[in-house]
Amino acid sequence: MTPIHILLVEDNEGDILLTREAFEDAKIQTNLSVVKDGKEAMDFLTKQGKYTESLMPDLLLLDVNLPKKNGHEVLQFLKGNEKLKHIPVIMLTTSSAPKDVNLAYKNYANCFITKPIDVTEFFGVITTIENFWISIVKLPSVK
């Protein structure tokens, strides 16, 4: 099985490290790319600047609270782009505000998950994401 390519858009170093560790502990092969702000995410997805050689992700883990462009702006950009809108987006954020949840779904997020504060629970969420989105769901192969 070809490893799934996941783009993590996250500015919190601790969450980046935890997410990397959780994916490394998993039995499912993944390639994890990380960008730390919304503008970088857009550049990565459109192969601009230092990302001209980037591989298109199969799945996006997107934080809401990001510098330069927030997660809602990135989501709206992605889902409004004919070449990118097929990429499933999981909003993975500390926010549980109804306005963030509603706006994410209004802009066609595939799901919205509030990050648990507890490390064990966080690992559980990542494992669940892997089990569902990688083992169960058939992702699009459009590149």
Q: Could you read off the pLDDT of 23-33 as tens digits, one per residue?
A: 887 766 788 89
pTM: 0.90
Q: How far from 76 is each of 64, 88, 98, 109, CA to CA, in Å?
A: 12, 13, 18, 9
Integer angstrom CA distances of residue 62 from 1, 22, 93, 110, 112: 25, 16, 7, 11, 9
CATH superfamily of 4-136: Response regulator (3.40.50.2300)
Q: Residue 36: what pLDDT?
A: 96
pLDDT in tens, 73-124: 999 999 999 999 999 999 998 888 999 999 999 999 999 999 888 888 888 8
Q: How many residues does the chain have?
A: 143
- The set of residues, in sequence order, having a beta carbon less than 8 Å from that of 79 and lying 6+ positions away, is 85, 89, 107, 108
Q: Which is higher by pLDDT, 49 or 2?
A: 49
The structural domains of the chain, with segments of one domain joined by +, span: 4-136
Rounded CA gap, 87 and 41, in Å?
A: 13
CA distance 120 to 66: 24
